Structure formats: C-alpha cells, structure tokens
Amino acid sequence: MSAPKLVGLAGSFNRPSKTRALVEDVAGRAIDRYGFDASIYDLTDVGPSLGQAQWRKELDETARHILDEVANADALIIGSPTYKGSYPGLFKHLIDLIDPHELRAKPIIITATGGGDRHALMVEHQLRPLFGFFMAHTLPTAVYASDRDFTDYKIVSEPLSARIAEVVGELSAFFRHSNPALAAAE
C-alpha cells in the first residue's frame, strides 16, 4: 500500500517564514506518526503567474502542479500569515482557483501566524469558514502562533507544541491504518 499524501500550503511569500516553519513542524510530526509522503509549498513556490491568472488554466505549469497536488492530497496543512486580521489576498486568490468539489471531505489542519495574540481567532473566524465553503473536514484543533512562539524561525513554545501534538493526534480518525502501531493497538 502506498503512503498517504500530505500537502502543506503556507500562504506566505516571505523566506524565511514563520508560517512555513509552522507548517513544516506540523508536517514533520504527522510524517513521524502516520508515515505520510509529504510536500510543502508557499506562495513563492507558486510564483508570479498567480497574480495574473483569472482562471486556473492561465497559471504556469509550476503553479498548476501545486494546485493539482493540493486537490489530490489525502490531507492538507494550511498555514496563513495574518494580514489585517485575516488571510492575505494573494493566498485567497490561490484558494479561489480550486473547484468547490476538490476539497470536499478532505481532512485539513488549519494554522496561522500573526505578530501578536490580538487576531488569534482568525483561524476560527476566517480560515475555518473558508474551508467550510468547500465542505472539507477542518480538524477540531486550530493552531495559531505569534512572534514570541518562535526564535530564529523555530518553534520554542511548549503550549504551541502541545497544541500541534493535539491536532496531529486528531488525524488518527482518518489515518489510523497508515500507522501499523496504531492499527495493532485496536
């Protein structure tokens, strides 16, 4: 049986990026636990054709490939920086190019970063309804990280690490059988 496919999508074009670091941390733990085959992308990977494209067919090959990977993934980790209390417009534009049926029933871990705690509920008030439109399975625990949770783009906060462990555990409802140890414990 081939490994299930996990795709992480960070809605930041900064390098380095706290959002990408967060998505990579969540992905690393999910790989350890469930043996995913994983790819991680950010808006710099998607590239400049995104801003010009009104339709998916107008994207260049690289950007189209990334959206195909997102659509075909068995699970997604979405990460977004907070811009003005919400996700960046360019990130939303990428999501706008996904057909409504492509994320239906897909398990999605939603995560975000922001400068402080003021907009911590953006994961609940912005990201969760966005993926609710697609009728995706956003996992119950959403993860928000602020600047002080990172040192040199590495997560240094114990409470944040515990929250990440929680949401990675919630994937077991979908991927129990991908991990022989979990399956044997049944």
Ligand X SMILES: Cc1cc2nc3c(=O)[nH]c(=O)nc-3n(C[C@H](O)[C@H](O)[C@H](O)COP(=O)(O)O)c2cc1C
Question: Closer CB to ligand X, residue 104 or residue 118?
Answer: 118
The torsion angles phi and psi of 155, rounded to 5 degrees, stand at: -75, 125
The answer, yes or no, to whether the previous bond of 129 is cis (omega within 30 of 0) is no
Question: Closer CB to ligand X, residue 83 or residue 174?
Answer: 83
Question: Closer CB to ligand X, residue 20 or residue 106?
Answer: 20
Please state, in angstroms and rounded to a whole number, the distance separating the CA atoms of residues 101 and 179. Answer: 28
Please state, in angstroms and rounded to a whole number, the distance separating the CA atoms of residues 7 and 21. Answer: 14
Q: For the CB of residue 66, give the shortest distance to ligand X in the complex, in Å.
A: 17
Q: For the CB of residue 23, give the shortest distance to ligand X in the complex, in Å.
A: 9
Q: For the CB of residue 182, give the shortest distance to ligand X in the complex, in Å.
A: 32
Q: For the CB of residue 129, give the shortest distance to ligand X in the complex, in Å.
A: 17
Residue least distant from ligand X (Cβ): 114
Burial of 65 (0-12, 13-18, 19+ CB in 10 A): middle
Question: Closer CB to ligand X, residue 72 or residue 115?
Answer: 115
Estimate the crossing angle of helix 158-170 against helix 18-34, to 10 degrees.
50
Q: For the CB of residue 125, give the shortest distance to ligand X in the complex, in Å.
A: 12
Q: How many CB atoms lie within 10 A of CB 71?
A: 16
Site residues for ligand X per CB under 6 A = 12, 14, 17-20, 81-85, 113-116, 118-119
Question: Closer CB to ligand X, residue 113 or residue 178?
Answer: 113
Tokens, residue 108: 């999605």
Please state, in angstroms and rounded to a whole number, the distance separating the CA atoms of residues 73 and 109. Answer: 13
Q: For the CB of residue 15, give the shortest distance to ligand X in the complex, in Å.
A: 9
Question: Closer CB to ligand X, residue 85 or residue 129?
Answer: 85
What are the percentages of helix, strand and coil residues in the chain, rounded to 5? 50, 20, 30
